[in-house]
Structure 1
Amino acid sequence: MNHDPHALRALLGDDAGLCHRAITGEHGVSLPPFTDHHVHLHLIDESRLASGGIAGVVDLGGDPVALARRENHSIPRVAYAGAFLTAPGGYPVGRSWAPAEIAREISDPSTHPGVPGSAATAVDEQASFGASVIKASLNSAAGPVLDPATLSAVVEVARERGLPVIAHAEGEGMPRLAFEAGVSGFAHTPFSEYVGRAFIAHAAAAGHVWISTLAIHRDDAEAAEFARVNLAGFAAAGGRVLYGTDLGNGEQPVGVNAEEVSALDRAGVRGAALIRAMSDPWPFAEPPSGVRTFVPGPPPGQLDEVAEWLRGATVVPTEELVHDDH
C-alpha cells in the first residue's frame, strides 16, 4: 500500500492527505467533503448519510413546503429543487413513489408572476421555499412533456431568479430539447440514446453539469452503455461531472455508493477527477464547512482499488483530524 503523501495526491488530487483521528488515533486519508448531487430525501433516512461518507446532498424532487420546514441540521448540508416541474399529466405525476406534493403541472408558458399554472408561478413557488436549483421533467417515455416554449419560459424565469435549471431528459430527443431551451445540465447522464460528439462538445462548452446516476441502470444494459459512453465523452471534453446516485430510487446504500463509483471509473472519471466529481459543492460555491471525508486504514495503491476503498468513507469534524504528511 502507498504511504507516500506525494503519490497519494497524484492518485486522488491535491486535497488528499494522510492523517489520523485525534481522539481514537485511527489512521487514514482525509478528503474534501463529498456531496451526492441527486437524492430524494422523502424516500431515505438522511441520518445515515454522514456515517456513510456523504456530507452534502441535492434533493432533486420533493415537497417544497416540507423541504423548507425541515430541521436545519448542519450535516448533511441540503440544497434542493423543490417540486418537479412537468407538463399536465407528465412524469412523475401518478407514480406510486411520488406524492402529489412533489410535482407541479405547468399549462401556461407565461413569464408573468401570479398566472395560475404558469411557468413563472411554478418557478417562483420553488424559489420562495428556498430552492437552489429548478428541476424540469422531460420524460417522453412516461407521458407528455413540456413544450419548447414552456420549457424556455421556465429557464428564463429561473435565470432571472439566479437559479440553474436541471432537466430529467429521458426519451429520444429529450436531451436536445433541454439543451436548446438553455438548461444548465442533466439530473441523469443522458441514457436513452448516444447524444453524439457535437452535442457533447456544445454541452461542455456551455458549462453544463451532468449528474452521473450511472448505477441505476444495472438492470438495463442498453441504457447503461448509452450513459457510460455519453459520460465518458463529456468528461473527455472537459465537462463538469457531478457524482449523484438518485438515492431513494430502488435499493441503494445510504452513503458512498461503490457501484456508482465503479461506474464512473469505467466511464473514465478516475482518481483526482473522481474526487472532484464527488466533492464538487454545486449548486453552492463552497463545500460544507467544518468537516472532511475520512477513509480509515491504508490508502489505495492504484486506481483500481479506489472504488472498494471508498466504501469505508465517513464524515468527521475537520478539527478531529491531524495531518501526517511530511
Structure 2
Amino acid sequence: MRSVRRALTGESGTMLPAFVDHHVHLHLVDSSDLPRRGIAAVVDLGGDPVTLARRPDGLPHVAYAGAFLTVPGGYPAGRPWAPESIVRVVTGSSRHPGVDGGARTAVDAQADAGASVIKVALHADAGPVPDDDTLAAIVESARERGIAVVAHAQGDGQVERAIDAGVSALAHAPFDAPLSRRVISRAVAAGQAWISTLDIHRGEARRLAIANVRAFAARGGRVLYGTDLGNGPLPVGLNRRELLALHEAGVRGDALVATLTDPWPGSTATDAVSTFIAGPTPTDPDDVPTWLSRGTVVPTEELTRVD
C-alpha cells in the first residue's frame, strides 16, 4: 500500500496490488465492466472449458476450473443455469488416462483446456456425490497434473470429506451447519483455503457462514475474497456487501486486503495493472470495507509514488 498520484486525472490516492474475485461464472455475466469497478482478475469456477480456453487476452485476467466434475444425477446437472458444456460426469474412479468416464480422464480434459484448478461437486443436499475412491482419484489425478482441487461442499459430512481427501479449497465458506473447532483446526492445518461468497446468503445461512469464517480466520485460515458472481443479483465488480460481511467475520484491515490480492490459484493479474483508490485512506477501521469497494483498475505506469 502506497500513496500515489494518478497521471491521467491528477488525483491523489492509494495504490494496492490488483484485486481478484476468486469465484465467478463468466457465462452468466457481462465481465467487461469488472476492471472499471475494481476487479483485475477472476477465477471462473464452473464454465465451458473450450469457451474459456478461447477467451481473448485482456482484462479481467481469467483463470478457470473448466467444467464441474460430478456423478450421474449429481449437482449441477439439469439446472437451468448449467448447460451441458459446464458439467463433466465422472462414472468411475479410474486413475488411468483415456478411460471413458474415469476420474483421470475428466481431470485431463480440463487441464488440457488450460484449467488452473479442478472443481468437484460435493453437494449432497442436491443429489449423489462422488464416493471416496472417486474423490481420491480426482484429487490424485489433479495433483499429478500440478493442479489444485476446489470443492462445492454442502451437506452432512462433506466438508470433512473434502479435508480428508486433500481438497485444497472450498468454493464457498461452509454455510449449512456450524463446524466444530476440531474440523476447523484440521482445515487450517491442512492449508485449506475458503472462498468467502458470504453475500449470496441471507438469514441463518449467512449467520452460519460468517461464524464459520470468523472461527477459521481466527485460527489462521486462508480466506479468499469471492462472490459467486452470476448467482443472483450481485454487483458486477467489487462487492461492498461481501467486504462488509468479511469485516464482520473478523477479516479486517491488512487481512481483508490479503483476501482480495491472494494469487490463488495463480490468477493474479500482472504487475502492469494495480488497484487505485482515490482520496485519503480511512482513519476508522470500520470504514475500510467501503473504501476498498471504491477501487478501480489502472495501468501501474499511470501511478507516481508520493513520499
Match of 2:78 among 94, 99, 111: 94
Q: Distance in 2 between matches of 1:262 and 1:314?
A: 18
- 1:233 Cα offset (Å): 1.1
1:281–1:288: 8 Å Cα contact kept in structure 2? Answer: no
Aligned to 1:322: 304
Match of 2:142 among 155, 158, 177: 158
Q: Percent identity?
A: 58
- Is 1:44 aligned with 2:26? no
2:38–2:275: 8 Å Cα contact kept in structure 1? Answer: yes
One-letter amino acid matched to 2:205? A
- 1:287 Cα offset (Å): 4.9
Q: Distance in 1 between matches of 2:7 and 2:93?
A: 57
The SS at the match of 2:13 is strand
1:27-82 CA distances to partner (integer Å, 9 max, x unpaired)? Answer: 11111110000000111111111001001100000000101111121x21111000
1:63–1:102: 8 Å Cα contact kept in structure 2? Answer: yes
2:173–2:213: 8 Å Cα contact kept in structure 1? Answer: yes
Aligned to 2:18: 33
List structure 1 segments (4+ residues) > 6 angstroms apart after TM superposition: none
Aligned to 2:204: 222
1:215–1:245: 8 Å Cα contact kept in structure 2? Answer: yes
Aligned to 1:64: 49
Structure 1 residues 221-230 or 45-54, which shifts more?
A: 221-230
- 1:23 Cα offset (Å): 2.0
1:100-159 CA distances to partner (integer Å, 9 max, x unpaired)? Answer: 100011111110111111101100000000000000001111111111111111001001
Match of 1:124 among 87, 93, 108: 108
1:55–1:288: 8 Å Cα contact kept in structure 2? Answer: no
- 1:288 Cα offset (Å): 2.7
Structure 1 residues 79-88 or 199-208, which shifts more?
A: 199-208
Number of positions where the alignment pairs a residue of Structure 1 with one of Structure 2: 307
- Is 1:264 aligned with 2:249? no
One-letter amino acid matched to 1:302? D
Structure 1 residues 287-296 or 184-193, which shifts more?
A: 287-296
- Structure 2: 5+ residue stretches without partners: none
- Is 1:290 aligned with 2:275? no
Aligned to 2:237: 255
One-letter amino acid matched to 1:49? L
Taking structure 1 as the reference length, the TM-score comes to 0.92
Superposed counterparts of 1:307-318, under 5 Å:
307-318=289-300
1:280–1:287: 8 Å Cα contact kept in structure 2? Answer: no
1:177-217 CA distances to partner (integer Å, 9 max, x unpaired)? Answer: 11111111200001111121111111111111110101110
